[in-house]
Amino acid sequence: MDGLGYERYGAQGGDWGTSITTLMARTAPERLAGIHLNPPLAAPDPATFGDLTEAERKSLDDLERAKADGSGYAIQQTTRPQTIGYALADSPVALCAWIVEKFQAWTDCDGHPENALSRDAMLDDITLYWLTGTGASSARLYWESFAEVSSWFSDSTVDTIAVPAGCSIFPRETPRPSRRWAERRFTDIRYWNELVRGGHFAAFEQPGVFTEEVRSFFRLVR
């Protein structure tokens, strides 16, 4: 941001951007007016396990289900990224299957990704990776960083972020920390909203709703 001439700015993150935005806030808090996250990465608080809300219980169940049934891609890309990388760089069918499976699993689509994203939109995304040959290299950050980042939402949260934060929780996202869990890590939450539609790729699935969420938060801190 120094190279672009910005001394103070806001940051927004979803997916890996959530981790990057959080690290920006941890590294240079004095430069950030605020951060907007979908979702905030914060571990469940064991002290609340005796009086969990229904939403917190479902969040924990979904997190365990994701670990048991949906984490194979992350383990592969964290430990042996180049093995799958050859297939992703060699075959458009392999690349399509690898990406569309996540659209099916992580969007709010009732099992059919075209309920959330048009076929053209999905093909545009896949084509971007194919034409640039980045199916493997784009995922190398798993090998570099996933062990640390996954601990932020599955183990104890050891660091705190004091930069003003806005949090948008989409119902088909995993993880989905409750506000009281998130407040253990993000100590100045100015905006919190739990949406009724949308999943992991919120900006892609629900661009209008997502844009209004970001605007609603930054109106409070600009």
Which sequence positions are flagged as catalytic? 15, 142, 200
Whether 173 contacts 75, CB under 8 Å: no
For residues 113-144, one letter each, b for 16 or more C-beta atoms within 10 angstroms of the residue's C-beta and e for the rest, the string is beebbeeeebeebbeebbeeeebbebbebbee
Report the C-alpha gap between 46 and 39 in whole angstroms. Answer: 20
Centroid of chain to Cα 7: 26
CA–chain centroid gap for 72, Å, is: 17
Nearest CA among 36, 1, 5, 60 for reference residue 178? 60
Q: Contact, 59 vs 178, CB < 8 A?
A: yes
Q: How far apart are CA 59 and CA 18, in angstroms?
A: 18
